Structure 1
């Protein structure tokens, strides 16, 4: 996994920046009930999405385990950002109206523990909104996607059926879904080759060292190596806590 304390300084520039964050925030808010007064963004990273999770009457908080990420987020969101483990959230039981986790669960082998924590801090009737099948969102029709497809992980940590099953164990039931475009995230072959070689796809691809070298070479030989392919489309699920 990446060292997010180091990545914090350049994270936004390499992840689609404001257009991607704006699309994510709009999709999340569309699934958060209008009556919600509080929202916690778990794994908030640099706060680029978090600072856009705003509307009249909604107070937004953020939590992240990386000091580097949380420090950047605090500069955007203010004192509402805290340093904390998503498996042991520094919030009381049943104290929040909504919780979001955008591009988080796919990174975590212990995603069930995070889902359980999000359920714990929600009030009855509250909503947990999370991205699912994140890496599958990149499987748009392109030559890059075709080369990556055989190596996609077969049991993603954020696979929708797995998330729904774990959520049900903690009193969370499906309440809706949405999709949004990952603006600026369409991969050019040269960029994909560099990321494969650098191990950036550790959560998305199952590769041996030899396979990484071969795949990186194949990607670098594709036509128009500097031209980004289609942007991914991400999926969000809303899960409501039973009263």
Structure 2
């Protein structure tokens, strides 16, 4: 996993910035009931999405939580007094505190299935009965847009995605969360170019490829033969899954 203490300074600039945050927040708000009062944004990162949730609906009281100190400094500056440093596996809130809980671009980062289950358990625990949990699923799949870059990357190792929609739904059901809708939104500004993909390979963004390994370097060389080295291919399209607590 990337070091998010170090990533904080460049996170927004390398992840689509405000346009992507706006697209994510709009999709989240579209799935939330109008009467949602208190919302917890788990793994809120720099707060770019969290801030838009707070601004996007009058009366919505938003709290952000993130484990990385550097991330919470950014998010706290955007939402003064509304951000806490917290481990998503052990949330520091009483049972049933929130009407809604969101976790955007979190579950795909979690290597241990027990940790995925712990996160879902905690998100369900702090939800009131009837509350909504919204999370992104199938993130890696979203980045496969059928481009020439994806064709080059076919030989890279794969492992079961911790945020696979079927896996998340199965874990969620254990904690009384039932599917309650879905939305899709573009990863604005995140379309890969060959040159940027090589840079990502060498900085460890592809978690099944060790930077500098023979396979990583072979893929980098193959990417270097593609045309239009700096032309972004299509943006990914992310999926949000909503669950309701019974």
Are residue 23 (structure 1) and residue 27 (structure 2) matched? no
| C-alpha displacement of 1:148 | 2.1
Q: Name the stretch that deviates more: 157-166 or 205-214.
A: 205-214
Q: 2:108 aligns to what?
A: 106
Match of 1:147 among 145, 148, 152: 152
Unpaired runs of at least 5, structure 2: none
Cα distance change, pair 78–176 in 1 and its aligned pair in 2 (3 A): same
| C-alpha displacement of 1:151 | 2.4
Q: 2:91 aligns to what?
A: 89
Whole-angstrom CA distance in 1 between matches of 2:147 and 2:37? 42
Q: Name the stretch that deviates more: 165-174 or 136-145.
A: 136-145
Q: 2:237 aligns to what?
A: 233
Contact map agreement 1:12 1:46 (CA 8 A) in 2: yes
| C-alpha displacement of 1:153 | 2.6
Q: 1:218 aligns to what?
A: 222
Aligned residues: 240
Are residue 61 (structure 1) and residue 32 (structure 2) matched? no
Unpaired runs of at least 5, structure 1: none
Whole-angstrom CA distance in 1 between matches of 2:47 and 2:203? 25
Whole-angstrom CA distance in 2 between matches of 1:47 and 1:163? 24
Q: 2:181 aligns to what?
A: 176
Q: 1:39 aligns to what?
A: 39
Runs of 4+ in 1 over 3 A off after TM superposition: 205-208
Contact map agreement 1:151 1:207 (CA 8 A) in 2: no
Q: 1:198 aligns to what?
A: 203
Match of 1:186 among 191, 195, 203: 191
| C-alpha displacement of 1:206 | 5.1
Question: TM-score scaled to structure 1, two decimals?
Answer: 0.96
Cα distance change, pair 30–149 in 1 and its aligned pair in 2 (3 A): farther
Contact map agreement 2:209 2:216 (CA 8 A) in 1: no
Q: 2:124 aligns to what?
A: 119
Whole-angstrom CA distance in 1 between matches of 2:117 and 2:157? 21
Whole-angstrom CA distance in 2 between matches of 1:35 and 1:167? 23
Q: Deviations over 1:158-195 (max 9, x none)?
A: 00000000000000000000000000000000100111
Contact map agreement 1:67 1:83 (CA 8 A) in 2: yes
| C-alpha displacement of 1:207 | 6.0
Equivalent position SS for 1:49: helix
Equivalent position SS for 1:53: helix
Whole-angstrom CA distance in 2 between matches of 1:166 and 1:147? 33
Contact map agreement 1:139 1:149 (CA 8 A) in 2: no
Whole-angstrom CA distance in 1 between matches of 2:67 and 2:157? 27
